[in-house]
Amino acid sequence: MPAQSLHGWGSTNPTVADVRDLTSARLASVLSAVGPRGALVRGLGRSYGDAAQNSGGLVLRLADTVHGVVLDPDAGTATVPAGVSLDDLLRLIVPHGFFVPVTPGTRFVTVGGAIASDVHGKNHHLDGTFGSHVRSMRLVMADGRQVTIGPDHDPQLFWATVGGIGLTGAIVEATIGLIPISSSRMRVDTSRHDNIDELMAAMADGDDGYRYSVAWLDPLATGASLGRSVLTRGDHASAEELSGRARRDPLAYAAAQRAVLPALVPSPGLINRASVTAFNELWFRKAPRRRVGELQSIPAFFHPLDAIGRWNRVYGRRGMIQFQFVVPFGAGDVVRTVVQRLAEHGTPSFLSVLKRFGAANPAPLSFPAPGWTLAIDVPAAAPGLAELLYSFDDLILDAGGRHYFAKDAHTVPESIRRGYQRLAEWQQIRQRVDPDGVWQSDMSRRLQLSAKSATDHR
């Protein structure tokens, strides 16, 4: 196949690689021909930065289908080929009365990608990350061998693979625990908060009473309205809570895209201070001061942006940076300072999201840890953006926080070493299973995540 240009969901820093689509059964056969730039398995390209790119190397995409999924209703598990998307998996399991244990803000990620990035969702404060619900997985190693690992079988390699961004081996299949549900609806409470202090107090006081919680905040509001927000929390509704046609078919599930954004969005995109100010004002004002018990569909509650295909094009050809960090609960003032500096700088963002994390899992490179996590989307071409983000880095790292690999297109190696204090432990495990550095990526070289990557860094 000819070389292809690849980029992340942020549409920044495209690089060219030899891309091949193949089945899991054929994956081992191509590894013998891997060159010095190595190989990487790529899912649906929803990492925002360069985690799923491999400039000058080999990029493999698994052609898996939902027909390979084995659902075990008695055990409450699904064994899923790694290339199957959460979108396809949900269409299969929801009508059978099950939901994925964790979903990020998009359902267009593969199961393998969800493990490699150890994705989190609105329920981390109670249920942890996706990797915490993996019972076992099959992995193709750098030498072509296939092994089965799990929390109780080679746990070091298992936890190094969870959150290991594809650099310990190629995940080809996983068995995951599922959440039993009796309806495809969510029972949702919504509240509007006039500033970030009010919001954080409400979340700290009430989040544990909900399985799911997330807050949208306005990063352009200033003064007494700094960080004004809409907090949305919910749980799976029971079949008894439904009425009419919904009650007659409580597990009916549909997830349609209403439109697809065209490729020719004028540069520099539709995101600017005026458009975002207007959007944020509308979004805040249309939210109720308080509404309790509203029934919403699964797509509306978990994946609202998926209704618009290729919504990332709204940022124009130069793309966007998503910046996500976590700081301990005692460092909530860092979140407030970041929001204040964003507002003072005037950097437009309409996707600023605040959540609370619960306990961390044993994975050395898993991002979530107990504390506050803030994610912001900003135009990559925004004036002074790099300097602004670097100023945030010092605050975050000094407070004991860190950045999220799946969103990163900004950090430098030193920031990762400070934020991920178990990085050396992960590197030792990777060296054991891939001493020649077969598995590589643009991110691994940029951030010098291993000895091989550091040597090849350009």
**CA distances for 33 relative to 141, 142, 330, 434, angstroms:** 14, 12, 50, 15
Dihedral pair phi/psi, residue 280, rounded to 5°: -65, -40
Judged against a pLDDT cut of 80, whether residue 277 lies above it is answered with no
Q: What is the three-class DSSP state of 51?
A: coil
pLDDT for position 352 = 93
Instruction: Count other C-beta atoms under 10 Å from residue 433's C-beta.
Output: 22
Helices 385-398 and 332-345 cross at an angle (nearest 10°) of 170
Judged against a pLDDT cut of 50, whether residue 454 lies above it is answered with no
Distance CA 2, CA 20 (A): 9
- pLDDT band at residue 453, thresholds of 50, 70 and 90? very low
pLDDT tens-digit readout, 210-244:
999 999 999 999 999 999 999 999 999 999 999 98
pLDDT for position 456 = 46
The residue-averaged pLDDT of 305-326 equals: 90
- Least-confidence region, from 7-16, 242-251, 410-419, 443-452: 443-452
Q: How many secondary structure helices (H) and strands (E) does the chain include?
A: 15, 21
Residue bearing the bigger pLDDT, 15 or 351: 15
pLDDT tens-digit readout, 82-105:
999 999 999 999 999 999 999 999
Per-residue DSSP letter, 249: S
Token look-up 């799911």 returns 212
Distant-in-sequence, close-in-space partners of 210: CB < 8 Å, separation ≥ 6: 189, 233, 234, 235
pLDDT for position 455 = 44
Q: What percent of the chain has pLDDT over 90?
A: 83
Distance CA 85, CA 113 (A): 9
The residue-averaged pLDDT of 295-303 equals: 97
Looking at the DSSP assignment, which residues form a beta bridge with residue 179?
Answer: 99
Q: Using an 8 Å Cβ cutoff, are 225 and 195 in contact?
A: yes
The residue-averaged pLDDT of 326-348 equals: 95
Q: Which token pair is 224?
A: 């007494």
pLDDT for position 218 = 93
Q: Which CATH architecture has domain 185-411?
A: 3-Layer(aba) Sandwich (3.40)
Q: Using an 8 Å Cβ cutoff, are 47 and 117 in contact?
A: yes
Give the global pTM.
Answer: 0.95
The boundaries of every CATH 3.40.462 domain in the chain are 185-411
pLDDT for position 266 = 60
Q: Using an 8 Å Cβ cutoff, are 325 and 397 in contact?
A: no
Looking at the DSSP assignment, which residues form a beta bridge with residue 402?
Answer: 326
pLDDT for position 32 = 84
Residue bearing the bigger pLDDT, 315 or 192: 192
pLDDT tens-digit readout, 377-433:
999 988 999 999 999 999 999 999 999 999 999 999 999 999 999 999 999 999 999
Distant-in-sequence, close-in-space partners of 221: CB < 8 Å, separation ≥ 6: 227, 228, 280, 343
Judged against a pLDDT cut of 80, whether residue 194 lies above it is answered with yes
- The pairing of strands 15-22 and 58-62 is parallel
Judged against a pLDDT cut of 70, whether residue 135 lies above it is answered with yes
- pLDDT band at residue 311, thresholds of 50, 70 and 90? confident
- pLDDT band at residue 282, thresholds of 50, 70 and 90? confident
pLDDT for position 270 = 66
- pLDDT band at residue 51, thresholds of 50, 70 and 90? very high
| Of residues 394, 397, 416, 396, the one with CA closest to residue 405 | 416
Per-residue DSSP letter, 266: P
pLDDT for position 281 = 79
pLDDT for position 286 = 83
- pLDDT band at residue 76, thresholds of 50, 70 and 90? very high
The boundaries of every CATH 3.30.465.10 domain in the chain are 66-181
pLDDT for position 269 = 62
The residue-averaged pLDDT of 160-170 equals: 98
Distant-in-sequence, close-in-space partners of 335: CB < 8 Å, separation ≥ 6: 196, 200, 327, 354, 372, 374
66-181: CATH number: 3.30.465.10
Distant-in-sequence, close-in-space partners of 391: CB < 8 Å, separation ≥ 6: 341
pLDDT for position 256 = 87
The residue-averaged pLDDT of 310-334 equals: 92
Judged against a pLDDT cut of 80, whether residue 78 lies above it is answered with yes
Judged against a pLDDT cut of 60, whether residue 457 lies above it is answered with no
pLDDT for position 264 = 59
Q: Using an 8 Å Cβ cutoff, are 352 and 383 in contact?
A: no
Distant-in-sequence, close-in-space partners of 318: CB < 8 Å, separation ≥ 6: 11, 12, 267, 268, 269, 379, 380, 381
Q: What is the three-class DSSP state of 382?
A: coil
How large is the C-alpha radius of gyration of the chain? 21
Query: Mean pLDDT, the chain, as a whole number?
Result: 93
Distant-in-sequence, close-in-space partners of 428: CB < 8 Å, separation ≥ 6: none
**HEC assignment per residue over 291-351:** EEEEEEEHHHHHCHHHHEECHHHHHCCCCEEEEEEEECHHHHHHHHHHHHHHHHHCCCCCC
Distance CA 450, CA 413 (A): 11
